[in-house]
Amino acid sequence: MKRMILRAPRRAEEAPLSLEEVPDPVPGEDEIAIAVRACAVCRTDLQLAEGDLPARRLPIVPGHQIVGEVVAVGARVSSWSVGDRAAAGWLGSACGVCIQCVAGKENLCEQARFTGWDIDGGYATRAIVNASFAFPVPAGFDDAASAAPLLCGGVIGFRSLGRAGVRPGMRVGLYGFGASALLALQVARYWNCRVFVATRSIEEQARARAMGAVWAGGYDDPPPEPLDATVTFAPAGDVVIAALRAAARGGTVAINAIHLDRVPSFSYDLLWWERNLVSVSNYTRKDATELLGLSDRIPLRTRFEQHPLEAANEALVRLREGKVEGSAVLVM
């Protein structure tokens, strides 16, 4: 198989990923082997490649938005068959027995292992996945590349809406309008929410309005109404403060980021009146199952550009420079 592997972090322009050819991996008794057709590129991959997110192990194959077909199953696997379309995301496994797992919060399991961080990921033509942590590909996504962005931006954006307490009819803020927010807007609109989008890009403001946002402006522009629930997608601490300023009494701001720069100090007045500030960490299989189940009913539409596997470094550069149209997806 071919794979793009990270041996030592460095700037994306310096090509931290190198192409290798190695024998096809064999699944363990509880695993499946997936012939990867597409793997979306995440900002987490960029942070790992450049060293902003410390590597759990090296070398490592990045990538945690995997879509393909099952080509081999382990001896104890009965839920998957060769030829099934399968997808896998960031959560690679969890212990299943700790207090967090038993409470349905496997995303907080201290023994959790993550695809492309602890476990070799999808920047390869083959990937080994725990069979219990893989998902069927929604029927409406015939093209693997169109489904791949659902596995991170889609699922974690969906969990973020839940963490923000979004319910039908609410005034929902989305601060940042990249690939994840684009999908979250579609879900919120499906729930009959009124969506307000803040982003620096004039082009993205126009796109948000075209997709049904009732208002779009810059981060420092106050929305015309206070917001009941907000998700921040931009990895910048000052955006969190802007979102708090716009929050209604009793409102919640959920931070959707695995890595965030320093949040500036702020007055307690921004939290008073029972405003809430919460973080979002990973996702659960329940989140993924619910989002993938909704994807055909909404129906969700992803926006993406395609790159060959060998161009993974170039895709990372485009991502850091803000040039990616929606999501970058590696296709095999």
Per residue of the chain (332 residues), give pLDDT as tens. 999 999 999 999 999 999 999 999 999 999 999 999 999 999 999 999 999 999 999 999 999 999 999 999 999 999 999 999 999 999 999 999 999 999 999 999 999 999 999 999 999 999 999 999 999 999 999 999 999 999 999 999 999 999 999 999 999 999 999 999 999 999 999 999 999 999 999 999 999 999 999 999 999 999 999 999 999 998 888 999 999 999 999 999 999 987 777 888 999 999 999 999 999 999 999 999 999 999 999 999 999 999 999 999 999 999 999 899 899 999 99
Specify the pTM.
0.93
Query: Which residues are CB-neighbours of 313 under 8 A, at least 6 positions away?
Result: 4, 12, 15, 16, 17
Looking only at the bridges linking them, the beta strands covering 113-114 and 91-93 are antiparallel
The domains of the chain, with CATH numbers, are 2-140+299-331 (3.90.180.10), 155-279 (3.40.50.720)
Pairs from 216-220 (Cβ < 8 Å, separation ≥ 24): 216/177, 219/175
Nearest-angstrom CA–CA distance, 120 and 148: 17
